[in-house]
Structure 1
C-alpha cells in the first residue's frame, strides 16, 4: 500500500491508459511466447488490479467524485464498500475464474485485449432496436419508421425444449427489406424467461451443443447478420454453463461473418459478477455485450421508483467496465417506457408500463404537472386517486441527452432501444440527433 500511496498522482487517465497498454503488450508477448492460460490469467489480473487500485471506480461517478481527492481517501472509500484487502487476489478469483480453463486458440486468448487496439479506428456506433413482433408487416414498418437504425433485433428465436431445440419465426421478407436499406438483422434469441428450462439445457453438454448447432444453422440458412442472445431469469449456478454456451456459439460462428451479442441485466456488486453473467468471459467470446439498463424498479416491486434513473444507469455501466467488459464492446440498452404506480390506501402497490409517448396525455387527463429531478435525471409526477394515489418517474429529452452523453463519455459502442414498438418520432429523433452530434 505504501508503494501505491507514493504513486498517488498516477491515478488520472494518462497513467491508467499507460498501464493498460503495458498490460496488453505483456499479455500478447506471453500469448505468442507460449505458456499456461492460468499464468496468463494471473498476469491479466495483476494489470487489472493495478488499474483498480489507482482508478478505483474506473470512470467518473454520476455523483462527480472530485478528481482532487487523494488516493488515500479514495482507497478508504473503496474499503468501505468491500471487505477485500488484496486487489490482486480478489481479481484472480473474480475476474478470470474457471470459465477460462482449457485450451483456446491464440485469437481467442487475445480477444479481451483486441478492442483496446481497435478502439477509435471507426466512428460508427451501433443504433439497435429490439422488435418484439413476429408479423413481417409490422416489423418492416418499424424499421422503416425509425430512420437511422442500423441494427434491427426482432424476437424470432426461442429455446423450445430441454434437448436444445429452437422455435423459429424468421421472416425472409424482413431480412431482405433490411438488407436493401442497409440495416443489419441480429435475431433475438430468448429462453422464454424460463429458469428451469435454461438450467436443463445449460447444464447438459449435449443439449448445449444441440442448441448451438440449431442456432448456427438457422442463422446461416436465413442470411442473418447476427444473433442477440437474451437469456434472462437464470440461476446463479448456471453461470459456467451459460459461459460455455456463449463460448461454443462463438467458436461455431468464427468465419461465418455473423455477429454474436449477449444481453445482460445489471449485476451491481462492486468488482464482482456473482449472478449468471460472468462479464469478462462473455465479453471475451461475444462481439458485443448489451446492458439492459432498465427495470431498476419493475412490476412486482412494492416500492415505487424509476425504471432507470441516471445514477443507477451510470453505476451499471461502471460495474461492467470495472469487471472486464471493454468500452467498445458495451452497448447501452435504453427504455422507451415508463411505469405508473398505483399506491392503494391499504399500502399495496401495483403498476403498469406505458410508452413514453403516452405519459403526457395521461398526466393531462389527471390535470397533473411534473417536475424534473436533477439528481435522478428523470421527471416525476403524482396525483390523487379514489383509492390512494398514482405516481410516475419518466425519461424526458433531458434524460435521453444525459444517457447519450454517458455513451460519449465512456466511449461505448452504441445504444439499443427497448423497444421500437414503444418508440415515438420525438424520442427516436432525439436519439439519432444525439448520436449524429457525437460522430460529427
Structure 2
C-alpha cells in the first residue's frame, strides 16, 4: 500500500465508469482512482496513452487537479500573482484561481515555483484547506506515525486533520512528510474526496448567485448588454430616471434593453437619481406635495414599462432632509408594492458624517426591500491622504456595521470595478479614477513594482511617471475574491457592481468561484 491510499474503515471506492486506456497504469494500485479522475476531466495523462503514475506531481499539476475537482473555473488574473508563473502557461488560470480563494500559498513574495514537486505535508495542508477544515491540533500525532517528529510544526494539524478524515493514510506507521507526492498518490488523495457522496454532489450542483446587480455607466445599450452577458449579473440598473429642478423626472427609457431583459430573464430596476444636487433634492424632500408628485411619476413609469423595481440613488442629501427622505421612500415603496415591484436604496457606509446623516438605516431597511451598501470611496477623489478605494478590513467593518441595523436578506454589498491612480506628492489634485483594465496596463508596464498587502488583501502597484512617484491600491480578481468570500459568510442577499464596463474579463470567473467555494459545506 502506497502512502496516501485509504486504510481501515474509510470506505470503499466507487465503481469506475469509462476507463481511459493508459499503457502504464495496469499494475498501479491507484488505477481505479486514476481512471475515475481522468474520466471526469479532473486529472489527465502526460500523453494520450501514458499517465506516468510514479512521476512526482508538480505544484502546478496538483493545483490544476484540485481546481477541477472543486468545480471551479480557471481565472486568468489581469495582475499575475507570481513572478515565476507565465501568464501563457497552461496552468496559469488554475494556479491563479486557487490563489484567489486562498487555497494556495506561494514560496515567498510573488514566487510559486510551479515545477517544484509537492510534498506530502504540503498536500495535506492543501487538501484540508480545500475542504475548509479547521486544522485539528492534537498532541498525539506520535501515536499515529512513528515519524511524527519529522512533520513540520506548521503541518502537524493538517496531517492530523486529513488522517482523521481518512483522506491520507500512511503505511508501516510512517507518514513521510517530506516525500514527493507521485501522480498516482495525488489521484488517490483526490479520489478519496469524491468517495464522500455528500461532498462530491456539491461539486456538480447548479450554483445560485442571489441578486447580482450591475449599474450601467458610460456605455451604450449595446455595450451594456454585452457587459452583462459576460457576467453573472441578473439585475440591471440603467440610469434612466433623474430628478429635475421643476420636480419633473427625466425619462431615458430604452425599449431595446427592456425587451432584452425580458427575453434573457433578467430583472430591471432602473436608477432614480438626484445627480447629487442638494438644493433640488431638498426642494423635493421638504414638501409632501413634491414628494407625492415624484412618486406618482415614477409609479407611472414602472407601470407603463412593466419594470421589476426602482433603485433609489440619492447622494449629497442634506441632514435636515432625513425625515423627508424616509417619508419619500415609504411612499414610493407602498406605491410600487401595489404593482408587484420592489425598491432598493443605495447608501454609503454609516461613518457618522454629514454624508450619511440623512439616511435612517433602520427605518429605511424596514420600509424598502433592499439596502445597497456602496462599499467604496474609503479614500475618495480629492482625499489629501492616498489609499485604498475599498480595502478588505474597511469593507468588512462597513458591512458588519450595517448588518447591526439591516437584515441580512435585505442587504446587497456593492463592490468597485474601478480604482484610483494616486499621486504620492499631490494626492488631492493629481490623482484620478481608472478602470481595472487601465490598472492592469500600468501594473504590467516596465518599472512597475507589485506587492501583495496581506492586511488589506490588495496589491499595491508603485511606478514613476514624469519623475513623480505614483501608487495604485489595486482592485482585481484576487482582491475582489477576498471581499466576496467575506460577504458570503454573512449570508446577505447579493452583490452589486459599480460599474459595468470597468472590469477586466477575468473578475467574473473569480467572483463566481468565490461564491461557489463558499457555498460548499463539508
Q: TM-score range by the shorter chain?
A: 0.5 to 0.7
Instruction: Deviation per CA, 1:303-342: give whole Å up to 9, x if none.
Output: 10100011110111111112x2001110000001110011
How far, CA to CA, are the matches of 2:348 and 2:251 in structure 1? 24
Cα drift, residue 136 of structure 1:
2.6
Partners of 2:329 and 2:364 within 8 A in 1? yes
How far, CA to CA, are the matches of 1:134 and 1:219 in structure 2? 23
1:240 is aligned to: 323
Change (3 A) 1:134 1:200: farther
Cα drift, residue 352 of structure 1:
1.1
2:66 is aligned to: none
C-alpha root-mean-square deviation of aligned residues, in Å? 2.2
**TM-score, normalised by the number of residues in structure 2:** 0.57
2:226 is aligned to: 141
Among residues 394, 397, 413, which one is paired with 2:493 in the alignment?
413
Instruction: Deviation per CA, 1:264-283: give whole Å up to 9, x if none.
Output: 0112249x996111101111
Instruction: Deviation per CA, 1:252-308: give whole Å up to 9, x if none.
Output: 1123111110000112249x9961111011111111000000011121111101000
Q: For this pair of structures, how many residues does the alignment match?
A: 314
2:107 is aligned to: none
Partners of 2:309 and 2:336 within 8 A in 1? no
**TM-score, normalised by the number of residues in structure 1:** 0.68
Q: Do residues 305 (structure 1) and 305 (structure 2) align?
A: no
- Considering only CA atoms, is the larger Rg found in Structure 1 or Structure 2? 2
How far, CA to CA, are the matches of 2:454 and 2:444 in structure 1? 23
Cα drift, residue 204 of structure 1:
0.9
Structure 1 runs of 4+ with >6 Å offset: none
Cα drift, residue 398 of structure 1:
2.6
How far, CA to CA, are the matches of 1:212 and 1:436 in structure 2? 39
Change (3 A) 1:295 1:347: closer
Q: Do residues 333 (structure 1) and 333 (structure 2) align?
A: no
How far, CA to CA, are the matches of 2:460 and 2:290 in structure 1? 47
Q: Do residues 397 (structure 1) and 481 (structure 2) align?
A: no
Change (3 A) 1:409 1:303: same
Gaps of 5+ in 2: 1-206
1:171 is aligned to: 254
Partners of 1:383 and 1:389 within 8 A in 2? yes
Q: Which structure features the higher share of strand residues? A: 1
Q: Do residues 125 (structure 1) and 249 (structure 2) align?
A: no
How far, CA to CA, are the matches of 1:142 and 1:347 in structure 2? 31
Change (3 A) 1:137 1:228: same
Show the 5 A alignment for 1:254-293: 254-269=337-352, 275-293=357-375
Cα drift, residue 123 of structure 1:
5.8
Among residues 154, 172, 188, which one is paired with 2:271 in the alignment?
188
2:516 is aligned to: 436
Among residues 305, 330, 333, which one is paired with 1:250 in the alignment?
333
Q: Do residues 388 (structure 1) and 468 (structure 2) align?
A: yes
Among residues 334, 343, 347, which one is paired with 2:424 in the alignment?
343
Q: Which structure features the higher share of helix residues? A: 1
Instruction: Deviation per CA, 1:370-417: give whole Å up to 9, x if none.
Output: 111111111112223335311110123332222112222111111001
